[in-house]
């Protein structure tokens, strides 16, 4: 590690057509680090996007914990260092925010409830894909040479089969049980998920992410490594972004499969946009998110900038809404997280009750799934995704898993909910069934 006490910055002009190759070389170069975080927006155009790609490697310092007021600790950590920070919040951090809640299921992965690190080196490609910036406590010119000299990863993924923790009969029966809770007035929407897993899996997580990101490119894709724990994420969803005093949240609720051709694709998008059930699911979560961020925003500043937007991804169409607000000047940026985590799209409403029901009915601990990974800038802005459409790998135990599901309302048809859950699962499982998916791109 360098003895430099100041980040040195080098800026390089790049050809936008070469940006994807540079990102692949960055992914190959970072294999040497035990702690890293890689974000890829995959070229999706958005007025809210910060970077096309962002990579952090090495840890000069870190904060992590399993109990106590960790967000206040994170705020103090940032105030002390005023540096880049990258890390995660697990879904089970809900138990810190709401001490009456618990998580009794066994852990299969071991990401800390909260973990953030100050990286030795940060590399980022701007939104226009024209500039690569390297900010490092090492020599950034040397880092650039290493990246440009790195070979793109090549190799084949093993053929793997996944076991579903719940069979179809159990899943359908549970959907009906949840509908009875809704009918009884316990809640009016609940996010319910199922785990798929593979034991004794020997994989290269870097190749897995490269393959997943090629087949399912998403605007909030992420690759996260903490020693022997890995997350490979193809998330289409933003949890929350802070840009100056503005907070932006973009919950997803509403899913439709892709069509076989453009005509069918357009019809499915139209059906999704007009679906009373999907719009009801979406607006319920919009109301919940509005209420959550209003707790940290100035009165009257919370707005729904977009309602029921339809966005297309490789495997699915999604209904996405955008809510914005202005953070109160008396509050810190971690208060925005404190009053809104976990994200409503992955719980349902009312939030406290459905988190109790999730613990009761889901047979697996969510851990990092439906939590968040993201970054905090030196100036205190941040961007966090929703950890969905993700694979998790415990390299010591060789345990590979994912969780997928959907929002359940009283109008939910159990068979259709099973099909939606399996559609999302198939997008993750398929990379281990096609022997060509990990080939050099």
CA distance 179 to 174: 9
Tell me the pLDDT band of 46, cut-offs 50, 70 and 90: confident
| Predicted local distance difference test score (pLDDT) of residue 436 | 40
- Rounded to the nearest 10 degrees, what angle do helices 168-183 and 351-361 cross at? 150
Q: Which two tokens stand for residue 32?
A: 């040497």
CA distance 202 to 186: 43
What is the chain's mean pLDDT, rounded? 94
Phi/psi at 364 (nearest 5 deg)?
-120, 150
Q: Helix or strand or coil: residue 358? A: helix
Exposure string for 95-125, b = 16+ CB within 10 A, e = fewer: bbeeeeeebeeeebbebbbbbbbbbbbbbbb
Q: Give 5's Cβ-side CA count (13 Å radius).
A: 1
Hunting for tokens 């199922």 — which residue is that?
194
- The ranges assigned to domains in the chain are 8-432
Phi/psi at 94 (nearest 5 deg)?
-55, -30
pLDDT in tens, 167-222: 999 999 999 999 999 999 999 999 999 999 999 999 999 999 999 999 999 999 99
Identify each DSSP E strand in 23-72 by its residue range: 35-40, 51-57, 61-65
Tell me the pLDDT band of 424, cut-offs 50, 70 and 90: very high
CA distance 214 to 412: 32
Q: Which two tokens stand for residue 149?
A: 């000299």
Hunting for tokens 């590399």 — which residue is that?
123
Is residue 130 within 8 A of residue 14, CB to CB? The reply is yes
Tell me the pLDDT band of 3, cut-offs 50, 70 and 90: low
| Predicted local distance difference test score (pLDDT) of residue 435 | 46
The residues that bridge with 40 in the sheet, in sequence order, are 53, 221
What average pLDDT score do residues 120-145 get? 97
Tell me the pLDDT band of 1, cut-offs 50, 70 and 90: very low
CA distance 343 to 367: 14
ω into residue 289 within 30 of 0, thus cis? no
CA distance 256 to 228: 35
What average pLDDT score do residues 237-250 get? 97
CA distance 430 to 208: 11
What average pLDDT score do residues 339-364 get? 96
Using only C-alpha atoms, what is the Rg of the chain? 21
Which CATH number fits the domain 8-432, given the four candidates 3.40.50.460, 3.60.120.10, 3.40.1350.10, 3.30.70.20? Answer: 3.60.120.10
Tell me how long the chain is.
441
Residue 23 CB partners (closer than 8 Å, separation 6+): 40, 53, 125
Residue 294 CB partners (closer than 8 Å, separation 6+): 302, 325
Q: Is the pLDDT of residue 245 over 50?
A: yes
Start-end of H helices in 33-167? 70-81, 94-97, 140-149
Catalytic residues: 237, 253
Alpha carbon distances (Å) from 192 to 45, 171, 365, 405: 30, 10, 12, 6
Q: Is the pLDDT of residue 441 over 60?
A: no
A 10 A CB-CB count for 188 gives: 17
Least confident window among 49-53, 107-111, 297-301: 49-53
Residue 237 CB partners (closer than 8 Å, separation 6+): 220, 250, 251, 252, 320, 345, 385, 386, 388
| Predicted local distance difference test score (pLDDT) of residue 434 | 58
Q: Is the pLDDT of residue 139 over 70?
A: yes
- Rounded to the nearest 10 degrees, what angle do helices 19-29 and 205-215 cross at? 160
Tell me the pLDDT band of 297, cut-offs 50, 70 and 90: very high
The residues that bridge with 249 in the sheet, in sequence order, are 323
């Amino acid at each position: 590690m360098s003895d430099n006490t100041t980040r040195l910055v080098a800026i390089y002009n790049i050809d936008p057509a070469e940006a994807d190759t540079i990102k692949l070389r960055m992914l190959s170069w970072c294999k040497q680090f035990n702690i890293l975080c890689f974000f890829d927006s995959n070229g999706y155009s958005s007025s809210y996007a910060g970077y096309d790609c962002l990579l952090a490697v090495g840890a000069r310092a870190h904060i992590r914990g399993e109990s106590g007021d960790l967000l206040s600790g994170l705020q103090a950590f940032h105030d002390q260092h005023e540096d880049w920070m990258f890390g995660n919040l697990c879904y089970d951090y809900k138990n810190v925010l709401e001490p009456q809640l618990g998580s009794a299921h066994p852990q299969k992965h071991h990401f800390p409830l909260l973990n953030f690190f100050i990286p030795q080196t940060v590399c980022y490609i701007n939104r226009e894909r024209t500039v690569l910036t390297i900010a490092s406590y090492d020599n950034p010119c040397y880092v650039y040479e290493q990246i440009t000299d790195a070979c793109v990863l090549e190799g084949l993924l093993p053929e793997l089969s996944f076991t579903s923790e719940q069979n179809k009969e159990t899943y359908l029966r549970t959907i009906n049980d949840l509908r009875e809770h809704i009918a009884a007035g316990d809640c009016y929407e609940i996010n319910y998920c199922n785990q798929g897993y593979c034991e004794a899996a020997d994989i290269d997580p870097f190749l897995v992410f490269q393959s997943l990101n090629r087949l399912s490119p998403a605007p909030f894709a992420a690759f996260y490594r903490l020693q022997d724990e890995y997350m490979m994420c193809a998330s289409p969803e933003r949890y929350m972004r802070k840009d100056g005093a503005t907070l932006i949240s973009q919950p997803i609720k509403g899913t439709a499969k892709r069509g076989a051709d453009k005509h069918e694709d357009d019809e499915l998008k139209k059906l999704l946009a007009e679906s009373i059930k999907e719009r009801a699911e979406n607006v319920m979560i919009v109301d919940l998110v509005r209420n959550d961020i209003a707790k940290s925003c100035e009165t009257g500043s919370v707005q729904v900038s977009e309602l029921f937007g339809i966005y297309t991804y490789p495997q699915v169409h999604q209904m996405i809404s955008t809510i914005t607000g202005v953070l109160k000047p008396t509050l810190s940026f971690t208060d925005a997280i404190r009053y809104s985590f976990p994200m409503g799209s992955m719980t349902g409403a009312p939030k406290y009750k459905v988190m109790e029901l999730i613990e009761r009915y889901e047979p697996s601990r969510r851990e990092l799934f439906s939590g968040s990974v993201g970054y905090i800038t030196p100036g205190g802005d941040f961007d966090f995704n929703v950890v969905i459409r993700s694979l998790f790998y415990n390299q010591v135990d060789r345990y590979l898993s994912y969780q997928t599901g959907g929002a359940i309302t009283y109008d939910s048809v159990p068979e259709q909910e099973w099909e939606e859950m399996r559609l999302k699962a198939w997008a993750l499982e398929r990379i281990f069934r096609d022997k060509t998916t990990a080939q050099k791109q």
